[in-house]
Structure 1
Amino acid sequence: MRKVILAQFVTLDGFVEGPGGELDWNIGVFDSGMERYADEQIAGVDTLLLGRRTYEVFIGYWPEQTGAFADKMNGVEKVVFSRTLEKTGWNNSRIARDAAGEVAKLKERPGGHMLIYGSAEFAQTLMRHGLIDEYRIWVHPVVLGEGRPLFAGLKERVGLKLVETRTFDSGVCVLRYKAA
Structure 2
Amino acid sequence: MGRLTFGMNVTVDGYIAAPGDDIGWSGGDGPDSSPSDELFQWWSDRVGTTGLSLYGRKLWENMSSHWPTADQQPGATPAEIEFARRWRDMPKVVFSSTTRTVDWNTRLVTGDAVTEITRLRAENAGPMDIGGATLARAAMRAGLIDEYLLVTHPVLVGGGTPFFTALDTWVNLNLVETRTFPGGVVLTRYETRR
TM-score w.r.t. the length of structure 1 is 0.92
Q: Which runs of 4+ in 1 moved over 4 A?
A: none
Higher helix share: 2
Alignment check: 8 A CA contact 1:79 1:94 kept: yes
Match of 2:114 in 1: 100
Which moves more between the two structures, 26-35 or 125-134?
26-35
Deviation string, structure 1 residues 4-56 (Cα, Å, up to 9, x no partner)? 11111111010111122221111324112212321332232121100001111
Alignment-mate amino acid for residue 148 of structure 2: Y
Alignment check: 8 A CA contact 1:29 1:170 kept: no
Match of 2:22 in 1: 22
Match of 1:77 in 2: 91
Q: Distance in 2 between matches of 1:62 and 1:170?
A: 24
Q: Distance in 2 between matches of 1:36 and 1:22?
A: 22
1:178 equivalent in alignment to 2:178? no
Match of 2:78 in 1: none
Alignment check: 8 A CA contact 2:44 2:86 kept: no
Alignment-mate amino acid for residue 107 of structure 2: R
Q: Distance in 2 between matches of 1:174 and 1:61?
A: 25
The number of equivalent residue pairs is 178
Match of 2:142 in 1: 129
Which moves more between the two structures, 77-86 or 147-156?
147-156
**Offset, 1:69:** 2.2
Give secondary structure in 2 for the equivalent of 1:33: helix
User: Which segments of 5 or more consecutive residues in structure 1 lack a partner in the other structure?
Assistant: none
Sequence identity percentage:
35
Which moves more between the two structures, 124-133 or 142-151?
142-151
**Offset, 1:98:** 1.5
Give secondary structure in 2 for the equivalent of 1:154: coil
1:53 equivalent in alignment to 2:58? yes
**Offset, 1:111:** 4.0
Q: Distance in 1 between matches of 2:18 and 2:56?
A: 18
* 1:42 paired residue among 40, 47, 51: 47
Q: Distance in 2 between matches of 1:70 and 1:18?
A: 25
User: Which segments of 5 or more consecutive residues in structure 2 lack a partner in the other structure?
Assistant: 28-32, 72-80
Give secondary structure in 2 for the equivalent of 1:84: coil
Q: Distance in 2 between matches of 1:123 and 1:171?
A: 26
Alignment-mate amino acid for residue 121 of structure 2: K
TM-score w.r.t. the length of structure 2 is 0.86
Give secondary structure in 1 for the equivalent of 2:19: coil
**Offset, 1:126:** 0.3
Deviation string, structure 1 residues 114-156 (Cα, Å, up to 9, x no partner)? 1123x01110110000111111101110011222222123222
